[in-house]
Structures are given as C-alpha cells and as structure tokens.
Structure 1
Amino acid sequence: MFQSTRLRLRKMQNTDISLYHQWRNDHEVMASTSLVLDVYTYEETQSFVENVMLSSAQSKSYIIEELEHDTPIGVISLIGIDYKNRNAECILDIGEKSKWGKGYGTEALSLLLTYAFYELNLHRLSLRVFSTNEKAIHLYKKVGFVQEGRIKEAVFRNGGWIDIIHMGLLQTHYQQLL
C-alpha cells in the first residue's frame, strides 16, 4: 500500500471487479484510453481482472482510493513488467468522473513512479496516449515523460483518425527531477 496526502494505492482484489466493470463499460471513462469501446459482460471483466490484472507475474494493478471519503476513484497499473530488462508500461484510469481535473492522476502516477523506480528498480517506463488527450499528455510531461514516437492514424474514433503517442521515462531522468 502506498499513500500520499490525499490518496492511497492498494492492490487490486477480486472484490473490486464489480466497480472496475462499471468503469470499463462507461464509454466516457474509456474513450480517451481504450483502443476498443465495447460493452463487456461481467464474466468478461471478471476473466480480464483475474487473468491479466491479478494473476500475471508481469503486472501489478492498484486501486486508487481517495483518503477523505475512503472511496475508490480509479485504477493504475504496471503491465508487461520485464524484470530482466527492467522496464514496464504504465496505465492510468480515473473511473470516477467527478474526480477528473483535480490532480488525482498526477498524485497517483507520482506514487507509482516512485514505487517502480525505487522499489522495483525499473530502468524505464513507457505509456501510450491518444494525441487528442491533451490533459493526459500534459500530466505525463509534468511528471517527466517525453514523447518517443507516434503511430499515425491508429484509432478511428468519432468519425476521425487519432494518432497514438508513445512516451517514456528513464529512472535516471526521474531521479534528476526530484
């Protein structure tokens, strides 16, 4: 468990499946992060959480809880962890829309980066973000990520094509920022 002044990250559990299922099926929540907007059955979400988020040795998923109300507001993960080459990919979703724009994403990501670089001793973290998600791009740059590449017109959404931006952050760069 990791904690800041407003948030706590706790390991995701089977008891979180129902809440994650709500977020996963909210197209407004997933529109800026998910490649596929679909409606998932509870069983599909349960299988995804149990097999990908909870059981894989190459991933670590945490529920973001707001301390003041002791309520879950999102999920943050390290996926594709490669311990030999010391790298992983970050994923962040604030599922509670009333919490958007309040700095919780920055705070949660800062906790995860500290854990990834200082506890797991990872060398490099990466992430993917839609070019239209300007708030997320701003957040990622603020904590030290830099653009490393762009996949042109990779996602068709709302009648148009969207690029996917690849961003990365090295442990040494992160340590210099602190």
Structure 2
Amino acid sequence: MTTIFTHKPTIEGKRVKLRPVQAQDVPILHRMLQDAEAAILTGTVHSSSQTTLPWTVDDLRVTYERWSSADDRLVLAVIDQATNAMVGEVVLNDWNELNRSCGFRTFLGAEGRGRGLGSEATELIVRHGIHELGLHRIGLEVYAFNPRARHVYEKVGFRYEGTGRDALWFDEQWIDVHYMSILETDVPLSQ
C-alpha cells in the first residue's frame, strides 16, 4: 500500500539535515536511548533511578529496519550539519488519512541539546508534513516536567490544547501530559 509516508525523504536545513535512519545509526540510537535525561523526559522510564532501557542493539536494528519501509510512519535521523553526527530522530506517526492528521514525537541525545537543533528539526518535519504531505493537523504530547520541549514546540507554532491529568506514574507521583497541535493554517508558506 502506498501512503504519504511511503517515500522517505532527506530534508536539508541550515544546521540540521533530516534523513532516513540507516543501519550504521542503530548503535548510536542505542547509546542515545540509554541517556537517562532523554529516557525521563520522553516518559520511557518510570523512575529517575532507572538508568538503562531493556532494548538491545539487535532489538533496535529489527525495529528501525521495519520502520525504514513502513508506510504508517516517517522516521528520520537528525544530523548535525556541523559535525555530520546523528544527534536524534523526528517521527510522524499515527496517520489518519481521512482527517489528514498524524502524531509527532522526537528525541535528541545529549550531543544535540541546547543548540537549537531540535527546534530546527521540528520546524523542518512540520513544514514537510504540512506543505509536502498535505497534512492538516500534527499533534503531540509533552510531559509537564519537560518545559524545555514545550518551549521548542511553542516556538515552532504548536498550540496548547489541554492537559491529561495523572498520565504518567514517575518517581512515586503522577505527572500530567500536555496536548499540543499545529494546523496547516498555523504554518506560513515560507520562512
């Protein structure tokens, strides 16, 4: 079946390039996923003392190999143009054809944080989704303990829609999740 996610493009920005994940990226992804801060902020773990994730390099290789040809999602590596190093990923998923909508998620390893790379990568994938793929709406979830990510999303144009109370059990307490989205009418045709 051919969908809007069948083609896996390369998207060039000023500081980052988005490209399909390649086999040699998997060990780097594995290392990045072992980063405690990334695991916490994405809600992947339920305790700040949990420092490793159960996925092996082989587990990830199988998953990313499947995703590389999947027509239900677009998974792209975030490449730092200055160093040519992979620093994270951006993903469009949960596509709803009739509503022309999908979900968005991202994560950056420690090497990619704090330099605006995540902002540019998010903007590039959103523009691609709206202008090239014809999406009307892209939605996301961000946990209340991740204000840095929420700031990035707001800077790109995502708007707060509401809060899911007590959505994540973390360090013996409940954490809220914030729902955000961006519409095709929110994204200018050019920058």
Q: Decide: shared fold, TM above 0.5.
A: yes
CA–CA separation in structure 1 for the residues paired with 2:62 and 2:40: 22
Other-structure match for 1:110 = 123
Find out whether 1:79 has 2:93 as its counterpart. Answer: yes
Find out whether 1:40 has 2:49 as its counterpart. Answer: no
Q: How does 1:91-170 map to 2 (within 5 A)?
A: 91-95=105-109, 97-170=110-183
Other-structure match for 2:18 = 9
Deviation, structure 1 residue 161: 1.5
> CA offsets per residue over residues 48-98 of structure 1, 9 Å max, x none?
2223x3232110111111111111111111111223321111111111x13
CA–CA separation in structure 1 for the residues paired with 2:78 and 2:102: 19
36, 41, 55: which is aligned to 2:69? 55
Identity of aligned residues (%): 27
CA–CA separation in structure 1 for the residues paired with 2:119 and 2:40: 19
CA–CA separation in structure 2 for the residues paired with 1:166 and 1:79: 15
5+ residue gaps, structure 2: 1-9, 47-52
Other-structure match for 2:103 = 89
| Distance 1:60-1:176 versus aligned 2 partners, 3 A rule | closer
TM-score after normalising by structure 1: 0.90
67, 79, 83: which is aligned to 1:65? 79
5+ residue gaps, structure 1: none
TM-score after normalising by structure 2: 0.84
One-letter code aligned to 2:12:
Q
Higher relative contact order (CA 8 A, sep 6+): 2
